[in-house]
Amino acid sequence: MSSISDNIARIRENIFKAAHGREVKLLAVSKTFPCGAIAEAIKAGQLCFGENYAQEAVEKVDFFHLNSPTVPLEWHFIGPLQSNKTRMVAEHFQWVQSVDRFKIARRLNDQRPLDLPPLNILVEVNIDEEDSKSGVSVNELEDLLPELMTLPRLRLRGLMCIPKAQASELAKRKTFAKMKTLFDRFNNQGFKLDTLSMGMSADYVWAIEEGATLVRVGSSIFGQRNYSSKI
Ligand SMILES: *Cc1c(COP(=O)(O)O)cnc(C)c1O
Per-residue pLDDT tens digits for 138-151: 999 999 999 999 99
Closest residue by CA, ligand 1 atom 7: 201
Closest residue by CA, ligand 1 atom 11: 216
Mean pLDDT of 199-222: 98
- Domain extent listing, the chain: 4-222
Span from the CA of 200 to the centroid of ligand 1 (angstroms) = 6
Contact call for residues 96 and 133 (beta carbons, < 8 A): no
- If DSSP codes are grouped into helix, strand and coil, which group holds residue 178? helix
Instruction: Provide Rg for the chain, Cα atoms.
Output: 17
* CB neighbours of residue 145 within 10 Å: 17
Span from the CA of 114 to the centroid of ligand 1 (angstroms) = 31
Q: What is the per-residue pLDDT for 228?
A: 66
Q: What is the per-residue pLDDT for 229?
A: 54
Q: Which residues touch 21 (CB under 8 Å, ≥6 apart)? A: none
Per-residue pLDDT tens digits for 73-94: 999 999 999 999 999 999 999 9
What's the gap between Cα 170 and its chain centre? 23
Mean pLDDT of 103-129: 97
What's the gap between Cα 181 and its chain centre? 19
Q: What is the mean pLDDT of the chain?
A: 96
Mean pLDDT of 20-48: 97
Q: What is the per-residue pLDDT for 133?
A: 83
What's the gap between Cα 143 and its chain centre? 22
Q: What is the per-residue pLDDT for 107?
A: 98
Nearest Cα to 53, choosing from 43, 45, 61?
61
- If DSSP codes are grouped into helix, strand and coil, which group holds residue 145? helix
Can you spell out the DSSP letters for 27-96? EEE-TT--HHHHHHHHHTT--EEEES-HHHHHHHHHHHHHH-TTS--EEEE-S---GGGHHHHHHH-SEE
Could you tell me the sign of the dihedral formed by the alpha carbons of 137, 138, 139, 140, in that order?
A: positive
Q: Which residues have C-beta atoms less than 6 Å from ligand 1?
A: 29, 31, 52, 78-79, 162, 200-202, 216-220
Q: Which residues touch 180 (CB under 8 Å, ≥6 apart)? A: 196, 210, 211
Of the pLDDT bands very low, low, confident and very high (cuts 50, 70, 90), residue 132 is confident
Phi, psi of 26 (to 5 degrees): -100, 120
Contact call for residues 159 and 138 (beta carbons, < 8 A): no
Span from the CA of 166 to the centroid of ligand 1 (angstroms) = 14
Q: Among 11, 29, 127, say which to mutate for ligand 1: greatest number of ligand atoms within 8 Å of CB.
A: 29
Span from the CA of 218 to the centroid of ligand 1 (angstroms) = 6
- If DSSP codes are grouped into helix, strand and coil, which group holds residue 154? strand
Mean pLDDT of 10-16: 98
Superfamily of domain 4-222: Alanine racemase (3.20.20.10)
